[in-house]
Amino acid sequence: MIELEAFKAGMRRLAGHVCLITTAGSSGERSGLTATAVCSVSAVPPTLLCCINRQNSSHGAVRGAGIFVVNVLAKLSGAYCGPVLVKETGVPTAPQAAGYTEQRQSSFYQELRRRLPASDSRAFAYFSAFDAPWRVHDANPVPGEHPAEAHWGLYDAQRRPKAVVAQLPLLDALAP
């Protein structure tokens, strides 16, 4: 029997397409993840199977929404105009009652950097540099306040770094 850590290390190297799975919950909150466990089930009706761990922070949102979008990252850059920049991805850090924390945001970006390393053909942008408290009142298809919208930044509204900042890789200097 193979050791657990050896199995995990081998599976991390298993080649597969990286897919971006995104959805919006019934209250308008966005959620998404990267996945390699995506396959077709049938053409009629068009059906996909996406395997998402129940402990994944986006599992509930994808299941609750009942609809989602799957993009195969490797195909996007070749089919369209070149490099793909994945934008508006992330996790807010509040409200905690909804399950949002700085640790959850850190974990999300750590996993995204692991699954989507920057290259000449793809990269991602962090959603927002700073929290924006006024965003709770932004226009939204779902009426009411949306407290999570104020907390997408890597820094809080007072410009203090959140936990994720300590994990950000330094940029390499370009050669002259």
Q: What digits encode the pLDDT tens for the residues 142-165?
A: 778 888 889 989 999 999 999 999
Rounded Cα distance between 95 and 173, Å, is: 37
Taking the complete model, does pTM exceed 0.85, yes or no? Answer: no
**Are 41 and 48 a contacting pair, CB within 8 Å?**
yes
Q: What is the pLDDT of residue 154?
A: 92
**Greater pLDDT, 162 or 83:** 162
